[in-house]
Chain A
C-alpha cells in the first residue's frame, strides 16, 4: 500500500524535498532553542549545557508575578482584537470596491496610492501623527481650536491612544492588505458572472453570491493565521508610538519583554514569554481550523 502510494505520488515528494530540507535546517533544527525557557541561560555554556532553572517554571513565574502581568495581557488581547477586526474588513471592502470600479485609470491610481503607506516605517508615521495630532501645533488640533473647540491630547491620552494605534495600522495596511483579495478575485471564473448577468442579478447580488464566496477560502485562511499571532499586538509600532502617560493602555507583552528581558540580558525570560505566546497561538489556530473545516474550509 505504502509502496503503491509512493509509486503513484513520488513526483510530488520529489517536489517537496527541497522545501522539507529548508524547513528542517532553518526552522526545525533551531527549535531546540526553546528549551532555554526552562534553563538559566549562560552564554559560555551554550543552550544545551546551561543549567536547568530551579524550579523549571522559574522564568514563567517571573513573568506571571510581575505587578503588570494582568494589565499586559489585557492590553495585548484588546489591541490585537481591535486590529484583527478593523484590520480584516477594510481591505476586503477596498478590494471589492476596486473590483467594481469601471474606470480603469481610477482603479489603478487608487490601488497604487493606497499601497504606498505600507512602505513608510513607523518612525516616519510617528512623525506624521505628530504633525497631525500633536496638542501643540498639530493640524487637527489647530482646526479644533479654530472651530472654537479646545485642543485634545490624542497621542498622550489613555482614551484615544488605542484608537491611534488601530487607526494608523489600518491606514498603513489598507491597500497592501487588499492585494491578496484582489488576486483571489482575479481567480474567480468569469463565466459565473456572465450566467448571473443573464439571470438579471444586480451587482450587489453578484458581489454577495459570487465574489465573496470566491474569496472566502482566502479570508478564512488569513483569519486563522492571524489568530495564531493574537498575542503579537505589534511591537514596532507600539514601541515607537507609546509614552509613559499611555503605558496603562499601551504596554503589551512584547514591549515589556523587550524592556525586561532583552535590555537586561535575560534571554530565558524572553524565551518563556515567547513560548507562552506560541502555545496560545497554536491552540487558537487548531481550534479555528477545526471550526473552519465544518464549513468546508480550513488549512489542512
Chain B
C-alpha cells in the first residue's frame, strides 16, 4: 500500500528540495547502517554474557560494579555466581516492581525538590497532577513533557529523577527484548533470563558508555554542562515596554481620570537558563527518551548548538533501535532474521522520510499566496520554515521529525505543530503504527516482533503450513498476546481522543477545527505509544491531560510488556521445529513485504477515519483555498 500522504501530493513544484538536503539524508542513513553491525554485535555479547563479561575491556573495568550491584540488591546467584534465571512471571514481576519504584522516586523528587539540594533557581514543588504525569512519563520511556524544564525542575530532579529514569526506562526496554529473544532462541526451556541482571548489564555496559561518549562529543559542540544557576547577560540592545501598574492585590491602579496607571519598564539584561544539560541530552537521545532539558528541546541553541551536534543527536535517536535488530539476529543465531526486520523498518521509514522532506520543502500555499518567496536560494533555506530553526532548515527538521517519531523518542528540533498538514500527518502516523518502525530502545523491536507473529500467522496459512517463527509454533496463546500488544495502543489513542474531544475542558488547542483535532489526536498518539513528542499547540499541563495522558502512557507501556514477556515464556517452553523446504522462510524479501503490509495496513485501517478528520481534511482545505 502506498503511503496516503505521497498519493495526495500534486506533482507541483517541490520547491525547496535541495541537493545538500538530500545528501544529508543519504549520509545519515549510511552512517546509521554502518553502526548497526558493530554495535549490534557488542550488545549481543553484553546480553549473553556472564557477570563481569563484556567486550572491549568494559567487563574488566566495570565488572566489580556489576557484581557489587547484584550483592547489594540481593540478586540470587547460582553456584557459579551467575544470577539465577527465572520464568516469565517472576521476570515480569521484577520489571513491574522496578518501574513502580522508579515512578515513586520521580514523583517524590518533584514534590520535595524545594527542600532538596541542587536547586539554584529556587523552584517550588511541582504540582501534584503534573508530577504524576511526569513521573509516569519518565518511567515509561515516554518523556511526554507537560511542563517547561528550566522553569519547573530543579537540577536534582532533572538528574536524579529524570536523568536516572532515562537510563532505567531504556534498560527496561532492552531487558524485555532480551527476554523475548531468549524465548525465541531457547528450546524447551523454563527460563527467559534474570531481569535484574539484564537491567544492570544493559545500563552499565550499553547505555552508560554510549552516553558518556555522546555527552563529551556534545559538550565539545557547546552544549552546556554546569551546576551554575541561570546566567545573567547584558542585552546588546536594551529593551523597554509599558505595563499597567498593579497594587499588591494584583489590581491595576487607576489614574484619577479612570484610565490605567502605566509605567515604562527598561530591560537591560536577560537570564539565560543553564544546567547539566549535555549528560541528560546524551541519554535522552540514545535511550529514545526525548525529554528535553529545556522547554523547546533540541531546538534550543544550548541543547543543540551546531550542525554536528544536530547530526549526532539525530543519529543517536535511531542508533540503538537499529542496532538491536542485528543483536536479535546474532542472538537467535540467524543474522538474516535481524536484517529482515531491519529491512522492513527501513522500507517503511525511508519513503516516509522522503515524503516528509518533500512536503515540508514544498512550503505552505497560504504563505506563498501572500507573495513570500519560499524557494531555496542563496542564504534562504526555503520551504515551510514556520516553527523550524533557521540554523537547521527543512531537511534536518524533516529528518528529525521522522526519526523521533519512528523511534519512540519524541525530542524535537522543530515544532511539528507548524508542519504542513500532511507533513505533520507522517510523524503522527509513525507513532500510530505502534512505535515499531525502529521504535523505542528494545520496545520497538519487541513490538515489531509481535507484528512478526501476526505476519507469520497469516503468511503461514497462505502457504499451507501451521505458522511458526524461528521454528516455534504460533498458537492461540501467542496470537492472543500479540493481538493485545497491537490492540492496546490503538484503543488508547482512539478512545483517549474520543474522550478528550467530548470534554469541554480538554479543548485547550491553539487552533479550532481540524488542526485542533489533530493536536489532540497527536497528544494521544504520542502518549498511547510511549513516544512523548507533542504538537506544541496543545496546552497539556491541565488536570485532564495530566491524568488522561498519564494513564495512557502507563497502560501502553506495561500492557505490552507483560504480554510480550508472556509470549517469551510460552515460546521458550516450545520445541523447535526443523527447517525444511516446506518451512516459510522469514528472511526473504517476500516476507519482509508481508511484514510491512501487516504493519502498514493495521496502522492505516485503524487510523484512516481519524486522520481523515484531522490532517487530511486540513490539507484538502488548505490546497482547496
Q: Do A and B bind each other?
A: no
A: residues with CB less than 8 A from B are: none
> What residues make up the interface of B, taking CB atoms closer than 8 Å to A?
none
